[in-house]
Structure formats: structure tokens, C-alpha cells
A and B are shown apart, each in its own frame.
Chain A
Amino acid sequence: MSAPDPGPGPGPGPDPVRADDPPGLEFDRVSMRFGAVTAVEAVSLAAPAGRYIVLLGPSGGGKTTLLNILGGFLSPTEGTVRIAGRDVTRLPPAKRPTATVFQDYALFPHMTIAANVGFGLRMRGVKPAARAPKVQAALEMVGLADAAARKPHELSGGQRQRIALARSLVVEPEVLLLDEPLGALDLKLRRQMQEELKRIQHRVGATFVHVTHDQEEAMAIADEIVVMRGGRIEDRGLPERIYLKPRTRFTAGFMGENNLLDARVERDGAGWTAETALGRFPLADATGAEGAVALSLRPEHIAVEPGPNRLPLGEALVEEVSFFGAFHQAAARHEATGLPLRLRLSQHAETRPGDRLALYVDPALLAPLQP
């Protein structure tokens, strides 16, 4: 169930990178200051070409600033930006192998859809006859082949989003930048577009860099998630790793609901041991967290029956149960310690407030967080 974490090194590491991957994009100690405000602080980040990278974080985390630096709309105060090994730090947007899908789509309202999609080719001096088939192909790729003659205001939000995508892809960028591209869409459409974005990325093979504050969107779509907070990289890695083994308290909380247990982690022979109020648990890997730390435990990782590798956690009194369709969510209080716990029960569970549950956990699912 849990993906083994390959990189044991301390702190955020570029775990999915292999040496033979071609270079995609690289930030080298990039900082961006606006007056007294530091939006991005000494960010270093390298990713191989062809990945779908999601910059995830709360607003003000610096992710959009980083995207603007990559697109050439901002010039960093310090540091170097490379794309495919080439230094692009001082290149204007027009000269970069990047294209951006803007949050408000920025479709030119006075041009038809075909003229919008063909704009980049026209600026590169491509003749109208050579433009038309490429424009048509791009429109077909986003499933709007028949929209060519219409104007942007005649399309729905989702359709405009697709046109913005087609307009950026038709110039065959090495890196496609997406600034909260799904933010203006309703939930259902957003889920649908996520799949579509992933499909298109596989097809065109370009690197996609996608900014969002929606962690579900990030997990559904990313090859790699970069969590940003306060202008720094908080954590980065495979979506599974970020969710199951978050390295920091912030990431653990941002990626979804969790229970935090105070613990003392000590080396114990080949592995580590965590001493908590709910018991002693062996840990395979402390990922650099030792001493007094917190353990993150996702609600769905607390079991209500014994099983292989599971250790007992004691009993809890159920205080509230809510039905979410795919599961029940319960708020409970640990009997012996009075600790509040969040649990996830099965769809068919008949647990009621006032019930007592015996709890178990597979210690491999405990994630020690860096202090």
C-alpha cells in the first residue's frame, strides 16, 4: 500500500530523478524580492524533461511567482533559471521555449478562436496556409474542432480553458506553464479536465508545470508534487510519498486530514522506535527525525480490527459519526489518554456515537515529521 521511499537523505530531496533523464528545467538558488517582501527565497529545483510537475501550496506561498519567473514575466532578484540546460534567466517571454495557460485564460476577445490559437504561429512568421492545419490539429486535440470561427465570449468557461490550452500547445513549447488553470471551473468539470490534461501531456511529451492550491487535483495529476510555503520548497516527491509519508507537519496537514501524535524517536539497533502515549511502535525509517517529534497518522490508517502487522492502540469512545458516501468519518476520544482521534470507518459501518472501538495500526504507516 505505501510506496517505499527511495531517497533516505535528509530534507526535501529530488527522489524521482534518475541520472540518465534529460534535463528539463532547473532553478538554481532563485530568489525574488519585491521591496521588503521576499516572495521566493533561494529555491533550487531540478526536474527532468517530460514530467508533469505540480507546484502546490497556499496562496502567498510563492508558487505563482516561481511560475512567472519560469515564464519570463518576472526577472529573479538572484539565481539562475535553465530550461533544457540553457540559461534563460534574462530572456523575455517571447524568446523562451515556454508557453503559459493563464488563470483567466487571456483569450483575445476581438479575435476568433482560430485566430487566437494561430496567434503564436503568426508571431513566428508562419504563413496562413501552413497555420491552418496546425490550428485545426490543436483544436481537435482539445476536442473543439468545430469552434474555430467563433469568438471567445460565445464559449463556456470549460471550453475557453481548452482553447487557452490549444493556443499554448500549438507553438510546441518545451515547458507548458499552467497558472491555476482549473480554478474557475466547477468541481465536476475540474475532475474531467484533470484527466484530459494528463492525457494531453502524455501525448505531447512536454514538461508541464501546474500551479494549484487544491491537493486532490495535485495528487490526481502530478508525476511530482512540489509543496511550497513562505517562498520555500517545503517538500517534494511522488504524490504517494507526499501523502503517505509527509516530511513536515505543514505538508501532513495540507495534504489531507491527519492525527498528530507526540512521540520520542530513538535509534534501536537497525531501526528506530517511537514512544507515544498510545504505545511503543517500531519504525523502519525515521527520515532524519529523531528525539521529540510528531507522528502523522491518517484517519484511514487507524483500523478497528486486528490484522497482520497491526499493533493495538487501545480503545476509543465514538463521539460523532458523519456519512460521506464512500466512507464514514468519526470523531472519537482515546479512553486512556483523552486524546481526540479522527477515524475513517467503512461505508457500511453501523457505529453510533457512544460506541466503543478497539483500534489498531500498522506501524509502517506512521510518518515521523521533522521538528
Chain B
Amino acid sequence: MTAGSRLRAWGFVAPAALWTAAFFLLPLAVMALYSLWRRVGMTLVAEPGLANYLAFVEKSFFLESLLNSLEVTLTVTILSILFAYPLAWILAEKVPERFQRLALLAAVLPFWTSYVVRSYSWLLVLSEGGVISTFLLDVGLTQEAVSLANSRTATVIGFVHFFVMLLTLTIYANLVQLPKSYAKAAQDLGAGPVATFVHVVLPLTLPGIMVGAFLTFVLCIGDYITPQILGGAQELLLPQTIMLQIQRRSDFPMASALAMILMAVVTLAYVACARWLKLDRA
């Protein structure tokens, strides 16, 4: 390889690399640095220290928001898998092949509504006087208007709605690329429908579940809008706490420290998933 052609290759890659360095790597570095500084009153103390991280451990307020986030995210991930798997299975096994693409497209259509609007739509459904409340009053299941909005339940419903669609996609993709002969062979060897599913189909679709679950985890734990619109003020999730530091308190060092912690949690989840997938393949 000549020096000239290497230079030309660098010419192709340089714009993207510089962009990523300037607007992604540099901001992450600035944020990491900020997380070690402190805000005292309205001034920034540019001395490296672990004060913000200590505050995170010491103040139950911060730790609780992380725990809330983990609880909500795990609940959402598990519920979404449980709801999505049967739907993906029905799409792959019960729907005639030529209708499958259309059925799948329909199943993920609301995916394309605006993210902000999707949470707002759930507010219409769940709030006092909303669709569910009116329905329950009309059929006489309740005597007074009920509100499901402004609660963890509402946040979880909003999240599950989104991630059921995502997981349906990843699990369906896994199911359809599974050769039909596996299930046939299991039945041929004496397995009933349940045994075929437990021993053959489910283990072979674990990769699709894991990929979807990881995406769900990452997107869910970093999301601000859904809990902010649907969750109400009783409890805060980590992204809400971060936004609070930025918008209300202008405490960028603390917000940076919380963001670093959020990134660490996501990285841990990523490493765990990658290890699991690698172990499974070995």
C-alpha cells in the first residue's frame, strides 16, 4: 500500500472520524471531567474530586431513582417478552405466509407515531375521564372516575406498548429463520406441542429474545419522556433526576456524574448480554 493511497483513504474516513471525535468523544470527555467538579452555590469549582459520586451513594434521593429505573426497566423487559413472544409465534406459525409481512407491518405501525405523541396518547386513554375510565363507568364496573395516569403503572404500560412492538420484531425474525424441520423432528421423536416448544423452539429463539431484551433495557433505562408524561410526580426515574439537575438546578457536575452512572449500567448490561451470547455459541 502506497503512502498516497493511504492518505486518500484517510481523506475518506477523516470527516466522519473528526465529526465523531468533536461531537461525541469530546463531549463525553468533557462530561466525565465535569462529573469530577463541583457546583458550589452558583459557581463551578474546577477541582477534580469524587464529591458527586459520593453524593449519589449518600443521598437516598439519587440512589432511589436508579433503583426505580432498574425496577421499571426489568418489569418492562419481562412483561414485553411475555406479551411479545406469543404474538411473534402466532405471526410466524399461524398466519399464512403471504399475509405475514402485512400483519407484521400492522403490528409495528404505531412504532412510527412520534415518540412524544405516543406517551400523550396513553394519557388520553388512562387519565381520569379518559377512555378506560369512561368505559368502566359505562359498563358499571366502577362508580366513580378512575385515573391510571400519573403512576408507575402508567409508565410501565406506555413502555410495554412500545417494546412489545420491538420484541415482536426481533423474536419473529428469529422464529422465521428457524428451519421447520427442527419442530418436525421433535414431534417425530415423540414430543408433544408443549415439549417441542420447551426443548426445541424456545432454546433456539433465545438469541432473538436476548437481542430484543438488550435493546429494550438500553432504550427504556435512558428514556425521559415516558416517565415524565405518564409517571407523575410521586417517584422519579434516573433520566428524570438527571433532567432535574440540568433544568431546575443547573447542576451540570451532578447531572454529569449521574449520566456517567447511567452509562456504566448500560455498559454492564451490554457486557453481560455479549458474554451470554458468546457463551451460548461456544
Whether chain A touches chain B in the assembled complex (some CB pair under 8 Å): yes
| Residues of A participating in the B interface, judged by any CB pair closer than 8 Å | 71-73, 92-94, 98-100, 102-104, 106, 108-110, 119-120, 123-124, 167-168, 171
Chain A residue nearest to B202 (CB atoms) is A110
Contact of A106 among B181, B190, B280 (CB under 8 A): B181
CB neighbours (8 Å) of A103 from chain B are: 181
> Could you write out 11 A-B pairs with CB less than 8 Å apart?
A94-B189, A94-B192, A98-B188, A99-B189, A106-B181, A106-B182, A108-B182, A119-B189, A119-B199, A123-B190, A123-B195
Besides A72-B188, A103-B181, 18 other A-B contacts (C-beta < 8 A): A94-B191, A99-B188, A100-B188, A102-B184, A106-B179, A106-B182, A106-B185, A108-B200, A110-B203, A110-B204, A119-B189, A119-B191, A119-B199, A123-B186, A123-B190, A123-B195, A168-B188, A171-B190
Smallest CB–CB gap between A134 and chain B, Å? Answer: 13
| Residues of B participating in the A interface, judged by any CB pair closer than 8 Å | 179, 181-182, 184-192, 195, 199-200, 203-204, 280
Bound-state CA distance A99–B186 (Å) is: 10
CB neighbours (8 Å) of B184 from chain A are: 73, 93, 100, 102, 106
Smallest CB–CB gap between A190 and chain B, Å? Answer: 20
Contact of A71 among B188, B199, B203 (CB under 8 A): B188
Known: A106-B182, A108-B182. A93 touches B200 (CB 8 A): no
Contact of A120 among B179, B182, B190 (CB under 8 A): B190
Beta-carbon contact of A123 and B191 below 8 Å: yes
Beta-carbon contact of A104 and B181 below 8 Å: yes
Bound-state CA distance A243–B198 (Å) is: 48
Beta-carbon contact of A100 and B190 below 8 Å: no
Beta-carbon contact of A171 and B204 below 8 Å: no
Bound-state CA distance A364–B185 (Å) is: 48
Most interface-central of B179, B191, B195, B203 (chain A CB within 10 A): B191
Q: Which 4 pairs show the lowest CB-CB distances between chains A and B?
A: A120-B189, A106-B181, A123-B190, A106-B185
Bound-state CA distance A370–B213 (Å) is: 65
CB neighbours (8 Å) of A98 from chain B are: 188
Bound-state CA distance A99–B280 (Å) is: 29
Contact of A94 among B179, B187, B280 (CB under 8 A): B187
Beta-carbon contact of B187 and A171 below 8 Å: no
CB neighbours (8 Å) of B192 from chain A are: 94
CB neighbours (8 Å) of B203 from chain A are: 110
CB neighbours (8 Å) of B190 from chain A are: 94, 120, 123-124, 171
CB neighbours (8 Å) of A104 from chain B are: 179, 181
Smallest CB–CB gap between B174 and chain A, Å? Answer: 13
Beta-carbon contact of A109 and B187 below 8 Å: no
Bound-state CA distance A100–B188 (Å) is: 7
